Structure 1
Amino acid sequence: PTRSPQFAMAYQTVIIHQDILKADCPPIPTISIHENDLSTTVLSAFLLSGANQPIGLSAAYGTRRVMQAIAFSTSSQVLVVKLATKTKPTVKKKGKKNVNGHSQPGRQLLRDMILCAKHRKVAVNMDRIAISLHIDLGMHIVDGVDLVSAMRSEQFTADDMVQLLGGQFAAHKATVANLFKDDSYSADRLRYISLQAWVAQRAAEKVQRLHALPAIHTGTLDQHHLSSMAEIHRNGDRLVALKPTVVKNDVQKDLTEKLGKLQVSSTRYKTRLRFSASQTLQLEMGHKGQTIKVKGRAMGVEGKTATITISGAKGSTIRAIHTIGREDPTNAEALRSKVIRLFLQRSAGFFNHYFSQSIWDPSTSLSTGGLTSAVPADIVFPHRPLNPSQRKAVRAMISDEDRHRLTVIHGPPGTGKTTVISACVTSLIAGRD
């Protein structure tokens, strides 16, 4: 079998054949190079392959979600740069050339000729790339556009990406979904990171009014706020990476069939079957005393019952079901991504809110002056006695002092956090009487 092209430690050129677009496309020459081997000649030749074109970007990340490689694409060529991992980010400080005290000429060329040059750069999840450049490499990006901003659902879906590429008659949905489902780094994933950048570039050429989409210029943002937002983003990315990619679903063995689809009942809430456009099911079914494996997908869920379509022979009983793929983002995760993207695009005043300032930038939090609302003179909670720490917490919550505008109640399970909140509510209600 043909081996997948791998990242080069120095410099190599491979030819990649795409299977995303249905139209015939020429093979894509792909240069894989280590950042220490970058030169003006290499970068100039790459830029000449797509003069006046938007440049597609993609990146691959390690287990700690640190950027390991970054890819750039014109319509006819891809350049993949393997990043050095043993040096610290070269974030400039006043009076110093960089943090680690030595120059990195390849990285500087990358910055000057592509990242901070006046080329429009496009990517799926450009927010992650921009933040990783800042937090991992100490570098900015100029004129970076996130293709998610052009998607109807405001988050990446294979359906929306296919539409950007020209619709179902122009692109294969299944291969699009498979291409963008993973951005992890490994030596044999050169093809994936290359095609991700190439597909982003092709989509950018088809997006109407690309110039009207909001651009990301991280160098013009407040750097303290950018670092705070980068920490939020990176921590969220690491939590998502901890989510399992395979989950065994606890279900009843018996099943029913309706209109050619299987109906299966979950027996445990935590491992229940869920509808997801990005996940598939692996079913082990009993059939004439044997176990057969078939693939399926949950098409809908109502209560404990999931409706499943399968491809292949059906069995009479369910022996096991596994959900393959990470679960879709929660509403909170999707909103977090949107807020971060809007911040990078300078479309949201996230750090103008007192709540945000109190957590991430308390030195800029301004006094709001005296409030006119009545504050209860004492704690009113007749339901049960409060211990000293609970009373202290309630007093802080009902206080009008600026230092208590943001009060965090924390503690192990069973220590009375809910009781504190209840006491705060009853005290505030009593104070209005």
Structure 2
Amino acid sequence: MPRQSSNPAASQPLSFDQTFIDEPIDSIQARVVHEKELEFTDFQWLFGSAANSPRSVGISPAYSKSGSLPALACALGNRVLIINFHSSKPYDDGTSGPRPRNIDRRNQLEQELLCHPDNTFYAFDLAPLALSLRLHLHLHLSNAIDIQSALPVRTRSPVDSVQVIVSDASPIFADNITSAFEATLYLVQRAWLCGYLGQYDLGNTQDLFYAAPKVDMRKFSADALNVLQKMSYDMQRLEIMKPTSVTHEIQTGFNHKTQQMVAKSQRYSNRLTPNASKLKVTVTHGSSTTFTVAGDASSVRGKSAHIDTVHNMEGKAIASITSIGRDLPTMAEQDRSLSLLRFLQGSLSLMDNHWMKAIWQPSDAVVWPEHFSSSESAPPIEIVEHPDAPLNSSQHSALLNMLSFSLNNCITLVQGPPGTGKTTVIATYVVDAIRAGQRGIWLMAQSNVAVKNIAEKLAKFEFFGFKLLVSQGFHYEWHEHLYNKIGKNTIRTDTLPKPSALKKLLQDTQVVLCTLSMISSPKLRDLTQIVPIVNVVIDEASQIEVGQYLPLFKSFGRTLRKLCFIGDDKQLPPHGQDDLKNLQSIFEVAHLKTSAVFLDTQYRMPPQIGDFISEQVYNGELKSNPEHPTKSSTTACYFVDINGVERLDADGKSIMNLQEVEAVMLIAEHLQEEDIPYRIITPYDAQRSELEQALKEKELVWEDKCFNVDSFQGSFGLRAYPVYSHANTQKQATKTMSLSFL
């Protein structure tokens, strides 16, 4: 937004046209003012002839790339007042926090506009707006209505809300509305549209808005808002980090029966999805003609999708497909956003939730339910080790904490460095808990691969009383091979039967495995009635931003009795933490980490590598298995340089090196010929895809061979494998227990 100048001519309104609704509407008059120059006359100009009557004010924010709030637009009729703010960082709401700038002007802004009793505010996506105003500017908003939640619409798409309100009275321009809410340039028009909808008087629109719950930010405690505004801000910044365009790696063909072009995705992380944004399809016709058309992906199933365009594609070829705009929010993301909104609307008491308090407030502030005391007095559970997986003293201590129902131990943290047997601890916990008669055990993680690894460990323990849930999008045509060992225990969520058949399917099942995000799926409602979520173990917890537990506590806080977090904050942090420094995992919550149990012995790395890691990362507290098969006389790690060339994939997001792939194939052929088990790991998804494809072309075993670094964690128990590790550039190796190419 331009900054208001001291030149009087700069205060003259600017004219804008609206292109959302096909109606003869006067041009929009917008006036820009900086907060330090804000005067009562600016509010008088906005209100005009409605100065002494109830007012329907549209409000829309301008967010920066960092998620801050540099400008706010308020609209009444065809007038829009744009207020620019000093750039600011989030600050604390307390005597120790910095004093906001222009405090007198901001007080005036609240009194004369944002909290004025004659104003009713209308906004799309109200919760992040209201929380950002307080977080960044210490401003409160009252008597505000979230447009989407006030209307009978299934989605939170602004287009659907506009269509419901306007109905058949006037045509709308859906693409223009979508574009306006995806870009920051249309601040004036967005605010105008909110105000226009708020005062629209046709059908039962006003009745719907009158009955809608209002948000008043002044009625909440500072503690509650401090927690929720950080959650909202973190979600917002993670959303901003999503790519605004993705060029897909595809193969295409033409379906003559449906007269549609068919695209087949070549890489999972680059795939076409049902919730993909608009597509830009580059089409070639003949040898020289190339043009671009808009399109949509439909009938997405596995790797295949139909590409719908307004052009007849017969006889033409698709050169490339690019998704334009960020993907729609996932179910888990929607669940978190709606939870924040419902709290602000007063229909959800998040801060009365004892699990929320236990994590976001000091533990002495938590009052656990009375029925927790009865389970606390239960006799201690006997720990029975699996004969092939004896426990060391630290693992034994972790299990005692996980199985305990002490009120001081409702939340257990177990920190496990690489190779310390985290998955073994989880599997032993499950077997012993079931033996003791516990029910409703849910094992969750951030990734499907981590969930699958736990299931395979249970199978190795000869425990099959579990069901693993996996989505169709991850399983079908992409990762079916990963589930060969546990196929009978795997349920794809799109095949979940009706309640009566589901009860039979889950007969005697009290252990369920799934990703954390899956619990936000409506498809699980019937399942959680049959197997309630009582005892929860979260693996990979160091990779999960703490706000992602909100849906778990909101939906299942009443049945949940025990919560165990397994992970290691010295390994992979929450996604985005490299760019967003104050993202937290559960292991960075100070009052919880102090009680974490540390698994102190690693069995995976040769001792000469493990001892180095211990000194450099774990303050010398991590011991190595003295019986490791790789002895001290063996060279346990090679760094081999390859004169290869790195290049980006088609999307420009991941790295591959084809010369390194060739070198690894030589090693893989040798190891398979010698019947030596091995694994290949790489931090780059594009390189993983190239390696896997090369194994197939060489007719080598390719299932369960190539992994990203995070998905490799805990996959292979206590055995030692030759490992190829791609970091930057690489070449040949001899037969050793660990190969590292840099």
Question: What TM-score results when the alignment is normalised by the length of structure 1?
Answer: 0.88
Q: Secondary structure in 2 aligned to 1:244?
A: coil
Q: Secondary structure in 1 aligned to 2:105?
A: helix
Residues 233-312 of structure 1: pairs in structure 2 closer than 5 A = 233-276=232-275, 279-290=277-288, 291-312=290-311
- Return the offset for 1:297: 0.9
- Return the offset for 1:151: 3.5
- Return the offset for 1:257: 3.9
Change (3 A) 1:122 1:258: same
Q: Secondary structure in 2 aligned to 1:142?
A: coil
Change (3 A) 1:381 1:100: same
- Return the offset for 1:311: 3.2
Residues 59-98 of structure 1: pairs in structure 2 closer than 5 A = 59-85=61-87, 91=93, 93=95
Residue identity (%):
25
- 1:62 maps to amino acid: S
- Matching residue within 426, 432, 437 for 1:432: 437
Listed as ranges, the gaps of 5+ residues in structure 2 are 439-742
Residues 158-169 of structure 1: pairs in structure 2 closer than 5 A = 158-167=158-167, 169=170
Per-residue CA deviation, residues 315-365 of structure 1 (Å, 9 max, x unaligned), is 543332211111111111000001000111111111222221111123321
CA distance in 1, matches of 2:144, 2:409: 40
- Return the offset for 1:44: 2.2
Higher-RCO chain (CA-CA 8 Å, sequence separation at least 6)? 1
CA distance in 2, matches of 1:23, 1:389: 71
CA distance in 1, matches of 2:415, 2:60: 39
- 2:86 maps to amino acid: A
CA distance in 2, matches of 1:246, 1:411: 37
Q: Secondary structure in 2 aligned to 1:63?
A: coil
CA distance in 1, matches of 2:105, 2:349: 35
CA distance in 1, matches of 2:270, 2:100: 51
- Contact 1:257–1:263 (8 Å) recurs in 2: no
Corresponding residue for residue 110 of structure 1: 109
- Return the offset for 1:91: 4.6
- 1:175 maps to amino acid: N
Per-residue CA deviation, residues 267-305 of structure 1 (Å, 9 max, x unaligned), is 2222111123x7111223342123443321112212221
Change (3 A) 1:40 1:158: closer
Corresponding residue for residue 317 of structure 2: 317
- 2:401 maps to amino acid: A
CA distance in 1, matches of 2:150, 2:414: 40
- Return the offset for 1:236: 0.9
Corresponding residue for residue 8 of structure 1: 3
- Contact 1:150–1:213 (8 Å) recurs in 2: yes
1:196 aligns with 2:195: no
Structure 1 window deviating more from structure 2 (257-266 vs 234-243): it is 257-266
- 1:58 maps to amino acid: S
Per-residue CA deviation, residues 102-134 of structure 1 (Å, 9 max, x unaligned), is 753322211110112111111001111110111
Per-residue CA deviation, residues 236-284 of structure 1 (Å, 9 max, x unaligned), is 11111111111121211444344332122222222111123x7111223
- Return the offset for 1:89: 5.6
Q: Secondary structure in 1 aligned to 2:320?
A: strand
1:19 aligns with 2:19: yes
Change (3 A) 1:8 1:358: same
- Contact 2:158–2:177 (8 Å) recurs in 1: yes
- Contact 1:49–1:76 (8 Å) recurs in 2: no
- Contact 2:153–2:161 (8 Å) recurs in 1: no
Change (3 A) 1:55 1:89: farther
Corresponding residue for residue 176 of structure 1: 177
Give the CA RMSD over aligned residues.
2.5
- Return the offset for 1:418: 3.2
Structure 1 window deviating more from structure 2 (299-308 vs 120-129): it is 299-308
Q: Secondary structure in 2 aligned to 1:407?
A: strand
Q: Secondary structure in 1 aligned to 2:434?
A: helix
- Return the offset for 1:166: 0.6
Structure 1 window deviating more from structure 2 (80-89 vs 293-302): it is 80-89
CA distance in 1, matches of 2:147, 2:250: 39
- Return the offset for 1:410: 5.4
- 2:81 maps to amino acid: L
CA distance in 1, matches of 2:417, 2:425: 14
Q: Secondary structure in 2 aligned to 1:366?
A: coil
- Contact 1:90–1:139 (8 Å) recurs in 2: no
CA distance in 2, matches of 1:381, 1:343: 46
CA distance in 2, matches of 1:101, 1:244: 33
- Return the offset for 1:70: 0.4
Corresponding residue for residue 626 of structure 2: none
- 1:283 maps to amino acid: V
Change (3 A) 1:139 1:86: closer
Structure 1 window deviating more from structure 2 (99-108 vs 74-83): it is 99-108
Corresponding residue for residue 351 of structure 2: 351
- Return the offset for 1:401: 1.3
Corresponding residue for residue 417 of structure 1: 422
- 1:363 maps to amino acid: D
- Contact 1:295–1:312 (8 Å) recurs in 2: no
Q: Secondary structure in 1 aligned to 2:401?
A: helix
- Contact 2:30–2:81 (8 Å) recurs in 1: yes
1:393 aligns with 2:394: no
- Return the offset for 1:375: 3.8
Aligned residues: 417
CA distance in 2, matches of 1:261, 1:70: 44
Q: Secondary structure in 1 aligned to 2:341?
A: helix
Per-residue CA deviation, residues 27-75 of structure 1 (Å, 9 max, x unaligned), is 1111011111110111123123444221110001112211110010101
Listed as ranges, the gaps of 5+ residues in structure 1 are 1-5
- Contact 1:91–1:139 (8 Å) recurs in 2: no
Per-residue CA deviation, residues 120-154 of structure 1 (Å, 9 max, x unaligned), is 11100111111011110112111111112124346
Q: Secondary structure in 1 aligned to 2:62?
A: strand
Question: What TM-score results when the alignment is normalised by the length of structure 2?
Answer: 0.53
Corresponding residue for residue 150 of structure 1: 150
Change (3 A) 1:432 1:208: same
Structure 1 window deviating more from structure 2 (235-244 vs 171-180): it is 171-180
Q: Secondary structure in 2 aligned to 1:54?
A: strand
- Contact 1:151–1:161 (8 Å) recurs in 2: yes
- Contact 1:58–1:193 (8 Å) recurs in 2: yes
- Contact 1:284–1:318 (8 Å) recurs in 2: yes
- 2:228 maps to amino acid: M
Q: Secondary structure in 2 aligned to 1:64?
A: coil
CA distance in 1, matches of 2:106, 2:147: 25
- Contact 1:300–1:306 (8 Å) recurs in 2: yes
Corresponding residue for residue 219 of structure 2: 220
- Contact 2:61–2:71 (8 Å) recurs in 1: yes
- 1:83 maps to amino acid: F
Per-residue CA deviation, residues 172-229 of structure 1 (Å, 9 max, x unaligned), is 21211111123x4xxxx2xx11111110111112333222211111111122011101
Change (3 A) 1:141 1:379: farther
Change (3 A) 1:68 1:101: closer
- 2:20 maps to amino acid: I
Larger radius of gyration: 2
Structure 1 window deviating more from structure 2 (267-276 vs 385-394): it is 385-394
- 2:280 maps to amino acid: Q
- 2:308 maps to amino acid: T
- Contact 1:343–1:349 (8 Å) recurs in 2: yes
Corresponding residue for residue 3 of structure 1: none
